[in-house]
Amino acid sequence: MATIFDTGAAPKPQSLAPDTLERVLAVGAAVLLAAVVAALVRGQAHWGEIPAIVWAHLLTIMIALVLTPTMLLRRRGDRPHRVLGTIWVVAMLATALISFGVRQTNHGGFSFIHIISAWTVIQVPIIWWSARTHNIVRHRRSVRGMVIGALLVAGFFTFPFHRLLGQWLFG
């Protein structure tokens, strides 16, 4: 039975087009990627001193940083989005897991940044599952949180405090 509040129309689905926040996040990821590349170029003389685990960490995070603007700005829901999204999820998970072995800057112990790694290990499967089950609202919200926290905030903290990339970029 219809009421005066029932219009009979289904609720409109949320647009899949990138919004302002996603554009800003895409730019932030691109700027962070440029800073990482610039730091690597400037630190080239010291590459041989860097442990393999740090290189693995840098490689996986660079894959995620390259894919982030692409994923946030391109068409969504099609096969390329799913394939690139799977690569992004694997890169994010690998980055987080590898980070637990990167402890040179804290005298061999875990640092505050490892909390973000633990959060990433929990959140990445949620991102993947929400996409697989077509829970677009949760997927979009989770991806935004991951980009803000695990990419941009964590990325920002790789540059100050005499950390490797900060020394190479600003030193």
Q: State the Cα–Cα distance between residues 111 and 123, nearest whole angstrom.
A: 19
What is the reported pLDDT for 106? Answer: 58
Q: Can you list the residues of the chain whose pLDDT is less than 50?
A: 1, 10-12
For the chain, helix (H) and strand (E) counts, in that order, are 7, 0
What pLDDT is stored for residue 78 in this prediction?
A: 94
User: What pLDDT is stored for residue 15 in this prediction?
Assistant: 80
The pLDDT value given to residue 10: 44
Residue 157: its pLDDT value, please? 87
pLDDT of residue 16: 85
- What does the alpha-carbon distance between residue 169 and residue 37 come to, in Å, rounded to a whole number? 9
Q: Give backbone dihedrals phi and psi of 19, rounded to 5 degrees, phi first.
A: -100, -175
Element (H, E) at 49: none
Q: What pTM does this model have?
A: 0.86
The reported pLDDT for the residue numbered 105 is 59
Are the beta carbons of 16 and 136 closer than 8 angstroms?
yes
Per-residue pLDDT tens for 69-81?
999 999 999 999 9
